[in-house]
Amino acid sequence: MSVERLNLSVSSISAEAKDVLLIGLRAGDGQPLPAYTAGAHLELVLPNGLIRHYSLCGDPDDRQTYLIGVGLAADTRGGSRLLHGAIKVGDRLRAAAPRNNFAMSADAASHHFIAGGIGITPIMAMIRHCEKTGQPWTLDYLVRSRQRAAFLEDLAPFGDRVVVHSSADLGRRGEIAAMVARAGDAGTLYCCGPAALMEAVEQATSGFAPDRVRFEWFSAKETADHGPGDGFTVILAKSGRTIAVPAGRTLLEALEDAGIDAPYACREGICGSCEVAVLEGIPDHRDQVLTAAEQASNQTIITCCSRARSAELVLDL
C-alpha cells in the first residue's frame, strides 16, 4: 500500500485553552498541502519516534496550513506531553497524508455533533464546512470547565446552535438522551470524545440506522473478549506467498514475522493505517474504523486487530 509522506514545518503554536495547544503545520518546501475533507486526521511521526494521530480542525479549503488541537492528557503516553513541552516554531515533523475515517454524510438532512473535551477538534472542521455550504447543524459540547474548552470564541457567534455543558457549572454531565434527540428523525449524528461519552452515545443511538451515527475513537474501546481465535492462512496475491497466522497472533504480527513490510500505526484498530483489500475469504472484524456496512461487505480488513472466520484469506498484498 502506497502512503504519501509529508515533510512539515511547525509554523505556529498558540494556547487555545488551558492545557490545549493549537499547532499550525506547513509544507517544508512551501508547496500546497494535500487536500482533505472535514473529519480527517493527520498521522504525525514525533521527534522521539512516536506515531500519533491528531484531527485536523482548520478550514479544509486551506491548502497552506494544517491546524491540529492537542490537549495535554493526564494519562499521556508521551505524545501530548512532547508537543506541549518540546516543540517550537520551525521544527520539522514527518507525517502521512491526511485520511478520513470520520467523514460527513453527503446526503444528511442535517448534522448534529456531540463533542467531549478535545473531541471538538474534528467537529470544528465539520462546522466550518457546514457554514460554507449552508448545511444545518447543531452542537452539544461537553467540557470539564470553560477554561479548558477549546474554540469557545469561534463558537460564540452561533448562538443556540451550540450548547456547552460544563461539569464545573452543572455539577453533572448533561443528559445524553436529550443531546441525541437533537439529531431529529433525519439528521446524522457525529460523536468524538472520551470513551465513556462515546459508549453512552453509542448505547443511546442503538435504535438508529447504522449510517446515521458516526464515531471517531481516540483509543480502543472495551469490547467483549473475542478470544485468540483459531489459526488461519493468509495468501498474498501479489507475491503468491502463504503465511500461517496462529491463534494468539494478530494478522499484522504474522505478516511482520514473515518479513512483510505491512503498513500500520496505532495497533489498536482505530486509525485505519493498516487497512488492506480482501480478495477472497471472510474476515473476523475487530476494529473500530470500518462502518457496519464496510465490515459487512468484507472487502477490506484492519490487519492490526482483525482475524479470519474462514480458513483462508487472500489479501491484495
Alpha carbon dihedral 75, 77, 81, 87, in 10-degree steps, equals -160
In the chain, where are the structural domains located?
5-99, 111-216, 232-315
Q: Give the residue, 173 or 56, on which the prediction is more confident.
A: 56
Which cell is 204 given? 443511546
Taking the CA atoms of 308, 254, 96 and 287 in sequence, report the sign of the dihedral they define.
positive
DSSP string, 183-222: TTTT-EEEEES-HHHHHHHHHHTTTS-GGGEEEE-SSPPP
What global pTM score does this model have?
A: 0.78
Q: Tell me: the pLDDT tens digits for 278-316?
A: 999 999 998 888 887 788 899 999 999 898 999 999 999
Q: Does 111-216 match 5-99 at the fold level? A: no
Query: Is a pLDDT exceeding 70 seen at residue 122?
Result: yes
Q: What CA–CA distance (Å, rounded) separates 186 from 276?
A: 33
What residue type is assigned to position 23 of the chain? I
Q: What CA–CA distance (Å, rounded) separates 204 from 188?
A: 14
Angle at 268 between CA 267 and CA 271, to 5 degrees: 85
Q: What is the pLDDT of residue 102?
A: 94
Q: What is the pLDDT of residue 196?
A: 87
Q: Tell me: the pLDDT tens digits for 4-51?
A: 789 999 999 999 999 999 999 999 999 999 999 999 999 999 888 888
Q: What CA–CA distance (Å, rounded) separates 226 from 288?
A: 14
Segment 115-120 shows an average pLDDT of 95
CATH number given to 232-315: 3.10.20.30
Query: Is a pLDDT exceeding 90 seen at residue 184?
Result: no
Q: What is the pLDDT of residue 76?
A: 60
Q: What CA–CA distance (Å, rounded) separates 44 from 40?
A: 13
Q: Tell me: the pLDDT tens digits for 133-152?
A: 999 999 999 998 999 999 99
CATH number given to 111-216: 3.40.50.80
CATH number given to 5-99: 2.40.30.10
Which cell is 76 given? 499521556
Q: What CA–CA distance (Å, rounded) separates 112 from 204?
A: 14
How high does pLDDT run on average in the chain? 89
Taking the CA atoms of 291, 113, 152 and 67 in sequence, report the sign of the dihedral they define.
positive
CB contact at 8 A, 105 and 214: yes
Q: What is the pLDDT of residue 224?
A: 46
Confidence class for position 219, pLDDT limits 50, 70, 90: low
Query: Is a pLDDT exceeding 50 seen at residue 1?
Result: no
Q: What CA–CA distance (Å, rounded) separates 141 from 162?
A: 7
Q: What CA–CA distance (Å, rounded) separates 285 from 288?
A: 9
